[in-house]
Structure 1
Amino acid sequence: MDGPLKELAKLEKLTSDTGSSKGKSPSTTTSLDSLLQSLRQARDRLQAGELASADVLSSLSQTVELKKKDVEERQKEIYSCINKYGKALDKKFPTFLPSYPPLFSSSESSIALERTIALHFLRTGQFETAETFIEESGVHVDRRLHDNFIDLHHIITALRQGNIAPALEWTGRNRGFLQSRSSALEFHLHRSQYMHLLLNSGIPTALTYAQSTFPTFFAQHESEIKRLTACMVFLPLTRLKTSPYKDLVSPSIHSDLEPMFAKEYCASLGMSRQVPLRVVGDIGGGGALARIEKGRKVMRERKSEWSQSDELPIEIPLPPENRYHSIFACPVSKEQSTEQNPPMMMSCGHVITKDSLQKLSKPGGRVKCPYCPVESAVTSALRVHF
């Protein structure tokens, strides 16, 4: 997409109020503003009697012609850029998009589509656009849901600024829900704050914070809490960055809080962690539509038809975050997971079922991963939700 994006950036500069194209001509807005200024000055001079009307009109005629030429030059540049942008798109997407009969012709499907679009605007923080769309389309969206997404984006903004207090307030109110999902969100928030205090306010302040917050999480995160308190012996920061605890000063400890919080917040509302319209756009625009259309063309040439189940006759490659599985089969026991025997993720990232985790555990509550040399506490394994 580098080619189309490059041409689009040029087009945006040309159509902006301050944009320029290699100094060939000023922007249309600049030319028109200059012309208006000349008209106002001419009016003022005529009213003041400084110049004869014939001289003023002659000067204005030259100014109008000059500005007209500037506007025409800029328009030519814009049309040329639009043409190049279209060619870049055609080069990137040589296959035409498939044509289908109207899919949202019924009132029910139309309402569902409009509601999906409205929720997309809300989830992505485009609240003014969402309100305008809801007003013009007439789609109903619960006001409480609207307020929830405003609250979500306020908290995300605070996290981006390094303020975890609003997020901690929310996790405190929803601790039961987070515990039912075996979520480590609250601990990760405290971990981020602890490292911030350790690096900016000193050891005494960080230790006081750790003593007041970490005991609650010690049973689930014993090994990690020990690492957090032990890393201080490698201070200052320059030494800590080359120590065995260098991962604790990684920016991801803080930046990962935003998607983690958004995931849990949306789960509390009964929504997926990903924005549906964005997923559809990424998958379809990422090559799925082109592959499907190519498959249909080949099938028409071979005079074959879609099966009665309407399954895809070709495989569509998907990025890891878009590969969804409703059933997990344990690689150790070969059994499918259930609510009583859910999938559990160990600290190394490998996933097995709860029964297998308990069978592999050693005295002392430790378990060695069957796929790597990592050994971790059984209690630190997290339940995985598909």
Structure 2
Amino acid sequence: MSHVDPLPEELAQLTRAARTAHRANQEHVDSLIRRLERARDALTAQGGTPGDELLSLGSYLKTSNAESAQKHRDWGNAVNKLAKSVDRKYGAPPAPLFPPPPPPPPSTTTTAAATSLEETLLLRRRAQPQPAAAATEQDQAQRLPFSNPETIAALNETIAIHLARIGAFHSLSTFLAESHTPQPPSLTPELLSGLKQLHEILERIRQGDCIRAIEWVEEARRAAADTTDADSDELLFQLRKEEYIRLVLAAATAAPEETHEEDEPMAVIEQPRQDEEDHKEGDPAVAPGTPRQRHKSSLASMSSSVLRTSSSGQHGGHGPVNPHLERALAYGGQHFRPLVLSSPSSSGSSRTALVCSLLTSPLYLPLDRLLSSPYGSLYAPYLASSSSSSSSPTTTPTTPASLRANEPLRLLFTEAYLRALSLPKNSPLTVVTDVGGSGALAKIIKVRTVMKEKKTEWSAVGELPVEIPLPLPYRYHSIFACPVSKEQSTAQNPPMLLPCGHVIARESLMRLARGTPTLKCPYCPVVSHFNACVRVHF
């Protein structure tokens, strides 16, 4: 619905009118049925007066029909208002960008219906194109878009790669078969297999399972022999966090099971410890070079303490340990530590704080208490909004979240996977559609029409005669064009900020100053000093 976003008021009014009319129709039919049943009972009863009952029924029908018609008139007025707003905002469709194709030559089958030799010769002479006309039609065909086999093949290849990127493999095979297009050379079997694997992993992430994605990231890091890449490190951390949150939510919704006495909670992350005296520095009992066993990490200590506290808080004392919670804390203590240690200095403190919040949040279990805790924002996106809105205050929503919860994670993984396949982040077809649909095509058509009326041509190669609007995701760097000289700023001609707040290029500033220390702003009556102007860095 992005193409109708500029009309929110008209759309809201139309929606309200439609709902009101629909509700009024239902109420009208229901009340009419009740009145008819009441009239039938009154007429079948002995001693009833049919005239009075029918008179009141006719009066009610007239009043209710008038109210229902008024609701429908409001609905129709809202539809007409929206149509007028659309016509006023968007106007008529633009003229075709390219000339229409030439008409086909007259068919020679009409010669069979000729009644004389002269008519037959005349029709044959007209059917044979002249050399000059043939050249003109050929030049016109060359100006048409996608009129030669090379451009058609390039367009079909772009569409095929786009269908493979978005995972529409059935549509891809149907498109290639119906367009009689062979397999594009750039869409190799290895690339097609990799894209299929990408969408299989994305489907598992969408279902809340990140194990396959974690395996792919670790395998890619080992294959690249670079485990310090910031992008892959952030992706691995987000996947680990997603898996940890899934385990905590499973622990919050599952009933705790009885644990055996021989079970040792947190055995995965706790290291065997010796006496403190054997680990003191400078202990003569420890030979030099003897490997010393490490103490339990701070994350492991935090996890075990959280496990004991949450178990006692949920069951009132020393109750059974929830195995799902034990598995979640063991997972976090084992995998978060290397990611915290390998995080870059710019994001290390924030990642450490996030890990501490994740490992501390199970203290507030059960789930209703966790959602109202300071850590509730970590888990709220993973719970369905519909369940939370429809549930009572005493009911805890436990339905898994919609796709919006892990949408950023899927986009991050898709970007990393496509980078490994040497593919750009965005499909070329998507970029062209987004840029053209955002207003660029309309401006180009308008400029082309004006230049055609003035009989001028744009001779610059690789540039456009006007600035075209770009969506925010495609604005990779800022470019300033001086509103006075209409030229782009450079390092030698940077933008300058006037004291009044307007920005122009330095060369325009010097021309306006005319060698004097003061100048007047070209857009307001403020007179500024030349030395008061400041350079702007984009």
Query: Is 2:218 the partner of 1:172?
Result: yes
Which residue, out of 211, 224, 228, partners 2:333? Answer: 211
> Does the alignment pair 1:99 with 2:97?
yes
Normalised by the size of structure 2, how large is the TM-score? 0.41
- Counterpart for residue 323 of structure 1: 475
Cα 1:215–1:181, aligned 2, differ >3 Å: closer, same or farther?
Answer: closer
Q: Distance in 2 between matches of 1:97 and 1:226?
A: 61
1:186 to 224, 229, 236: 236
Which stretch shows the higher mean deviation, 159-168 or 316-325? Answer: 316-325
How far 1:105 sits from its partner (Å)?
A: 4.5
Q: Distance in 2 between matches of 1:299 and 1:198?
A: 65
TM-score (norm 1): 0.56
**Which of residues 353, 363, 381 in structure 2 aligns to 1:223?**
353
Instruction: Output the CA distance in 2 between the equivalents of 1:123 and 1:223.
Output: 37
> What is the one-letter code of the residue matched to 1:238?
D
Query: Any unmatched runs of 5+ in structure 1?
Result: 4-84, 328-335, 337-386
Q: Deviations over 1:243-291 (max 9, x none)?
A: 4434312345533222111111111111112222122122212322112
For residue 122 of structure 1, report the CA deviation from its aligned partner.
0.9
Alignment pair present for 1:262 and 2:262: no
SS of the residue corresponding to residue 411 of structure 2 reads helix
Q: Alpha-carbon deviation of 1:160?
A: 1.1
Question: Pairwise mapping of residues 32-51 of structure 1 onto structure 2 (< 5 A)?
Answer: none
2:193 to 136, 147, 161: 147
**Counterpart residue number, 2:443:** 291
Contact 1:114 1:139 in 2 (8 A): no
1:208 is displaced (CA, Å) by 0.8
Larger radius of gyration: 2
Whether the 8 Å CA contact 2:370–2:376 is kept in 1: the answer is yes
1:200 matched to 2:235 = no
In 2, are the aligned partners of 1:98 and 1:289 still within 8 Å (CA)? no
- Contact residue 205 and residue 410 of structure 2 kept, 8 A: yes
Match status 1:120 vs 2:158: no
Q: Which stretch shows the higher mean deviation, 152-161 or 179-188?
A: 179-188
C-alpha change, 1:244 and 1:297, in structure 2 (3 Å) is farther
Counterpart AA for 1:116: T
1:233 aligns to 2:363 (yes or no): yes
Question: Counterpart amino acid of 2:354?
Answer: E
Percent identity of paired positions between Structure 1 and Structure 2: 35
With over 3 angstroms needed to count, the CA separation of the structure-2 counterparts of 1:97 and 1:129, relative to structure 1, is farther
Q: Distance in 2 between matches of 1:301 and 1:242?
A: 67
Query: How do residues 10-29 of structure 1 correspond to structure 2 at under 5 angstroms?
Result: none
CA distance in 2, matches of 1:171, 1:161: 18
Q: Which amino acid aligns with 1:173?
A: E
SS across alignment from 1:137: coil
Distance in 2 between residues matched to 1:93 and 1:168, nearest whole Å: 51
- Taking the aligned partners of 2:241 and 2:189, their CA distance within structure 1 comes to 34
Aligned ranges 1:300-319 → 2 under 5 Å? 300-319=452-471
Partner of 1:317: helix, strand, or coil? coil
Once the two structures are superposed, residues 69-105 of structure 1 have per-residue CA deviations (whole angstroms, 9 ceiling, x without a partner) of xxxxxxxxxxxxxxxx9xx899846241552433444
- CA gap of 1:254–1:308, structure 2 versus 1, over 3 A, is closer
The one-letter code of the counterpart of 1:210 is G
| Contact in 1 for aligned 2:364/2:373 (Cα 8 Å) | yes
Are 2:205 and 1:159 equivalent residues in the alignment?
yes
Task: Report if the CA contact (8 A) 2:364-2:370 is conserved.
Answer: yes
Cα distance 1:209–1:313, how it changes in 2: closer, same or farther (>3 A)?
Answer: same
Partner of 2:77: none
Structure with the greater relative contact order (CA < 8 A, sep ≥ 6): 1 or 2? Answer: 1
Distance, in Å, in 1 between the alignment partners of 2:326 and 2:158 is 50
- In structure 1, what residue type is equivalent to 2:248? L
Counterparts in 2 of 1:311 and 1:162: CA distance versus 1, 3 Å: same
Q: Select 1:129's aligned residue among 138, 147, 171.
A: 171
| Preserved contact between residue 167 and residue 195 of structure 2 (Cα < 8 Å) | yes
TM-aligned CA distance change 1:129 to 1:199, over 3 Å: closer
Given that 2:438 and 2:471 are in contact with CA atoms closer than 8 Å, whether structure 1 keeps it comes out as no
**Unaligned runs of at least 5 residues, structure 2:** 6-82, 99-142, 253-324, 344-350, 383-403, 480-490, 492-538
Structure 1 distance, partners of 2:378, 2:245, is 8
Question: Secondary structure in 1 aligned to 2:406?
Answer: helix
What residue identity is the alignment partner of 1:204?
E
**Structure 2 Cα separation of the partners of residues 271 and 265 of structure 1:** 9
